[in-house]
Amino acid sequence: MLLTDLPQELLDLIPHHITLIEDLLSLSTTTRALRAACTELPPNALLRLCAAQQNVFFRPTPHYLVALTCRQLAHSALSSPEGVETLRALKEVREWHNLRFAVVNPTANWLDQLAGAQWYATPNFWNGGVSDAATISVEPERAVFQIAVYGELFGESVESYLREGKKGAGAKGKMLPREVRMDYVKYCVPDWVCAGGYRGLEVLETGPYRGDGEGEGLPSDQIAMNHILNCRRWRDAWAAVRATAGPDFPDGSWKQEVWQRSVESLGMRMLGMWRPEARTNELTRKVAEIRGWIEALDDVDDKPDAVVVPVKQQWRTYDFPLFAKEVLICVQKYWNGAFENA
């Protein structure tokens, strides 16, 4: 008797006894029946296989697995049950393995050129070699996942607001609140300057800040991220992405700020669009769709609520997922005298 002669219900049990994710992937390519058995593996069992080899196939730890699963968490938080069982499917694991080479590796190399060792290696660095010389410490691969995870978590909130307008998305509970977004930046993009917070920004001594209210020994990820998201080469690359869908909106308008920042923070798949060769028809259509949504929003009724940042020299932002602005809020006491308000 051949293995494939067994009833399907017995074949379905085989993947439960596999301990290596690569064995599961190999088994799924053998026969149609075994592929079906592997595809039907429950999400929790698949996640355990991934977690068991996170130091081999899912580096950096834990960022890779968080990125793989966090969109499901956002779906669950927004009461979208259709997302719960699908986002850890085997095809999703395969796709994310491919994204390692298509998005993560080239983007990490690019960020290293923007703020890492390659950037510092520019001849005459401090004497005009670069236009934005500064003391920055960045771990490029970690920064890639910090940007991608923000998009995976809050991309649905962005799309719901732009598609349905302020009243539609808000009334239906399709926006994760600003406090959740700020907590992501505070605790998942840690920085010594954020430790202890300041008046209006509470930072608890938990997670990366546990037992270290002064921030000693912490990375400077927020400072690095602020530099990356606002440097000329990053802005120019994403301006080229936006240009595939049409012209920008007027400078200084809320629509332009939302348009500029939305496109660059919608998750791992979209993150690769800074490379012209990664601008597939599907992704380009998505960018055009986003621009169309923004253009259709009412200039007054759909304008996001203003949020006052409580620092010495107060400024305003919008209650809308704007990663760059939320990072800037967290590092305000580095520049704007917020230490005086601590």
- Beta-carbon contacts of residue 177 (< 8 Å; ≥ 6 apart): none
232/251 Cα distance (integer angstroms): 16
Spatial CB neighbours of 217, under 8 Å, sequence gap ≥ 6: 192
Cβ distance 15 to 21 under 8 Å?
Answer: no
Are 311 and 337 a contacting pair, CB within 8 Å? yes
Q: What is the DSSP string of 45-60?
A: HHHHHHHHTTTTTSPS
Helices (H) and strands (E) in the chain, counts: 17, 2
The pLDDT tens digits along the chain (342 residues) read 777 777 888 888 887 788 777 787 788 888 888 888 877 777 667 777 777 766 666 677 677 777 777 777 776 667 654 444 444 566 777 787 788 889 999 999 999 999 999 999 999 999 989 988 888 999 999 999 999 999 999 998 999 999 988 887 655 567 888 889 999 999 999 999 888 888 778 888 888 898 755 667 899 999 999 999 999 999 999 999 999 999 999 999 999 999 999 999 899 999 999 999 999 999 999 999 999 999 999 999 999 988 877 666 667 788 899 999 999 988 887 766 544 444
How far apart are alpha carbons 91 and 193 in whole angstroms? Answer: 40
- Say what the pTM is: 0.82
A 10 A CB-CB count for 332 gives: 23
